[in-house]
Structure 1
Amino acid sequence: MASGWTSSTKIDAILALSAPARHSGHDVRLQIDAHFTGWESRLLIDGVAVARQWTGLDAADPFANHGLAATLSDGRELVVECGFNSMLGTGAAAYVDGRLLWESHPGRPIALPARMQALANPERRAQSQAQMAHLKRNWPAMACDIGVGLLFYGVARLSDLPTAAITSAVAGIALAVVQRFVKVDLLGGLARFGIIMGLVSAGLAIAFQDDRAVMLRSTIMGTLTALLFLGDAALGGRWLGKGLANYMPMAMNRRRLALGLGLVGLASAAAEQGVIWWGGKDAWLNWTTFIEMPVSLVLIMLMMRWARA
């Protein structure tokens, strides 16, 4: 089992203060190993492990403090409490017969900060697991959407935008055909939207044979979509907001979700229009392929935080 990191702390002067002088030469150490699946603490006296404890990350409280106990040669009880006091930092305190004799961080509690404790509580961990399951379920569709976008970028670089639009539309149709023969969802919300946009681009390319018409398609569609979301928000999120909220891994306020997506859509359309007018084809390709998605994701994450019920 691979360790993420190991912490070794010498517990200075515990025995010298708590036991007769003949014990003062003993070396008392605490070792803490963080693994990918949990963490382990060990109490060593003169290099010999006398106590150890393990807590897995799947435990009810994965960051609960450990209590390592050992009986000294004179019969008294040594107890070492240890645990995390930050994301990667640990603390410890030693007691002999219940009396505190040593602290690694005097006056500082051996506990995670309140904000980190909130992240580690069972409810929050259950939410994180649900979000990971949601992402695992949707990653093939997201990969298809990104793949179609990269195909559009590559063909546009090698030829022109109308050819790229037609090529990506054909790829989208091919995905729809493949979907009929596989169980994995290839046409989730993101991928389906990309295919629809590709068909719109192909239609504009065939109708006008013009680069600017292809570039304007996402601005036009984005603006219309944003206006639909804003209209739905004005009505309380009854349709679009409600439909999207059903697919979210956490509870959402339907009206705020629709309003937030409408505003993000308008902002994205405005930014893209600016790139078209002042940057041209190459700038637009770089923006839509590499920059627009991460920027939009950040805005959507902030919006979702605001829209939580």
Structure 2
Amino acid sequence: MKIWSYSRPFTFHGHSCEIKVTLTQSETISSLFIDNFLVDEQYIKYTDGITIFVHPLRTPSGFEAKVEVGYFNWRNVGIAVTENGRLVHESHPGEDLSYGEALMEDLYGMKEHASEAGESKWAQNKYSIYADLGLAALFFIVSKVTGDLVLAAIVGGVTGLGLIVLQRFVKADLLGGFAVFGTIMLAISTAFSLVLQDSYWVQMKSTALGLFTAALFMADGLLRQGAYFGARFERYMPGPLHHNRLAIGMSIMGIVSAGGNYVVAENFSEDFWLMYTTFLDFPIFMLSFLVILRWARKSEGATA
């Protein structure tokens, strides 16, 4: 399923050419068209990272070149056409198309330097991650089976509160590093669904609570240098991070996510919103999160 696409048209020796970059749920696809005919297509799965696509360009009249396609910032794609070693076209002149690759190299470097820490953190937090995924799946399944978003929200909230009770009787960490805060937010979320028993407000809950949470993260990052949220989020991450930057970055991401939820809820069907909030926003979240990690990562030798 297509989530987003970019179109970068250009002309090469009288031929109408176009690069189309398509983002799906699982991969990025780059396609080269010459005179409306598909001549080359490449793809990379999100799990394999981000790369610069290089398309061979050969026109029917015999001219040859190569087309490089890559991210020049966290949200936009550009192209560069080179013929015989000479740059003949740029969609965004002067931009560095290797931004995405550099981002992934930074993250892979962080992973290599902290592989043991990452494994220990996964072992420490895997049950809380399973619990989060289970709650999301439960909300989606109940919504699809019953067609009632209010009921799904209440069932999810009650189940989440049940996990808090269960935590008292099991050794596995089901709540992660946000036990107190998570309990409070889950209680607020459940109360929200019970008081405002309307499908529209169930959809708006992510926006309202998202903005509220983003404000708390921003306050923590600016006023307390990330001492609460930033420090707790770091326990999930491989490698040391600046707590204040992590908290501020998560706040910005929360604001963007809340805005996206509002736009989808206001302009699309309830079924599409359910699909979006359960599945489609994940690639956007991951790309944004990678940018935040790059910004928040401590350089080697840094202590603060």
Confirm or deny that 1:139 pairs with 2:121: no
- Output the CA distance in 1 between the equivalents of 2:194 and 2:230: 36
Q: Map Cα deviations across residues 273-299 of structure 1 (whole Å, 9 max, x no partner).
A: 111011132122111111223421331
Q: Map Cα deviations across residues 88-125 of structure 1 (whole Å, 9 max, x no partner).
A: xxxxxxxxxxxxxxxxxxxxxxxxxxxxx99999x974
Confirm or deny that 1:273 pairs with 2:277: no
Could you tell me which of 231, 239, 242 is aligned with 1:250? Answer: 239
Q: Aligned to 1:286, what secondary structure does the other structure show?
A: helix
Greater C-alpha radius of gyration = 1
TM-score (norm 2): 0.55
- Output the CA distance in 1 between the equivalents of 2:107 and 2:162: 43
| Equivalent AA in structure 2 for residue 265 of structure 1 | G
| Equivalent AA in structure 1 for residue 157 of structure 2 | A
Task: Specify whether residues 130 and 141 from structure 1 end up closer, same or farther in structure 2 by C-alpha distance, changes over 3 A only.
Answer: same
Tell me the equivalent position of 1:155: 142
Structure 2: gaps of 5 or more residues: 1-104, 299-304
Tell me the equivalent position of 2:162: 174
- Output the CA distance in 1 between the equivalents of 2:108 and 2:263: 43
Task: Specify whether residues 234 and 279 from structure 1 end up closer, same or farther in structure 2 by C-alpha distance, changes over 3 A only.
Answer: same
| Alpha carbons 2:177, 2:232 under 8 Å: kept | no
Task: Specify whether residues 189 and 149 from structure 1 end up closer, same or farther in structure 2 by C-alpha distance, changes over 3 A only.
Answer: farther
Task: Specify whether residues 217 and 245 from structure 1 end up closer, same or farther in structure 2 by C-alpha distance, changes over 3 A only.
Answer: closer
Tell me the equivalent position of 1:16: none
| Equivalent AA in structure 2 for residue 230 of structure 1 | M
Q: How far off its partner does 1:265 sit?
A: 0.8
Task: Specify whether residues 303 and 196 from structure 1 end up closer, same or farther in structure 2 by C-alpha distance, changes over 3 A only.
Answer: same
Report sequence identity in percent: 35
Q: Map Cα deviations across residues 58-102 of structure 1 (whole Å, 9 max, x no partner).
A: xxxxxxxxxxxxxxxxxxxxxxxxxxxxxxxxxxxxxxxxxxxxx
Q: Map Cα deviations across residues 144-179 of structure 1 (whole Å, 9 max, x no partner).
A: 111111111111112201111111122112222222
Greater relative contact order (Cα < 8 A, sep 6+): 2
- Output the CA distance in 1 between the equivalents of 2:277 and 2:120: 28
| Alpha carbons 1:234, 1:255 under 8 Å: kept | yes
Could you tell me which of 280, 288, 301 is aligned with 1:291? Answer: 280
TM-score (norm 1): 0.55
Task: Specify whether residues 200 and 294 from structure 1 end up closer, same or farther in structure 2 by C-alpha distance, changes over 3 A only.
Answer: farther
| Equivalent AA in structure 1 for residue 130 of structure 2 | A
| Alpha carbons 2:153, 2:190 under 8 Å: kept | yes
Tell me the equivalent position of 1:231: 219
Alignment RMSD? 3.0
Task: Specify whether residues 182 and 231 from structure 1 end up closer, same or farther in structure 2 by C-alpha distance, changes over 3 A only.
Answer: closer
Task: Specify whether residues 186 and 241 from structure 1 end up closer, same or farther in structure 2 by C-alpha distance, changes over 3 A only.
Answer: closer
Q: Map Cα deviations across residues 239-270 of structure 1 (whole Å, 9 max, x no partner).
A: 33553365244222222112211111111111
- Output the CA distance in 1 between the equivalents of 2:241 and 2:106: 20
| Alpha carbons 2:153, 2:193 under 8 Å: kept | yes
| Alpha carbons 2:113, 2:239 under 8 Å: kept | no
| Alpha carbons 2:111, 2:118 under 8 Å: kept | no
| Equivalent AA in structure 2 for residue 255 of structure 1 | N
Q: Map Cα deviations across residues 213-243 of structure 1 (whole Å, 9 max, x no partner).
A: 1111111111111122223333362533553
| Alpha carbons 2:206, 2:258 under 8 Å: kept | yes
| Alpha carbons 2:150, 2:197 under 8 Å: kept | yes
Tell me the equivalent position of 2:190: 202
- Output the CA distance in 2 between the equivalents of 1:305 and 1:297: 12
| Alpha carbons 1:197, 1:218 under 8 Å: kept | no
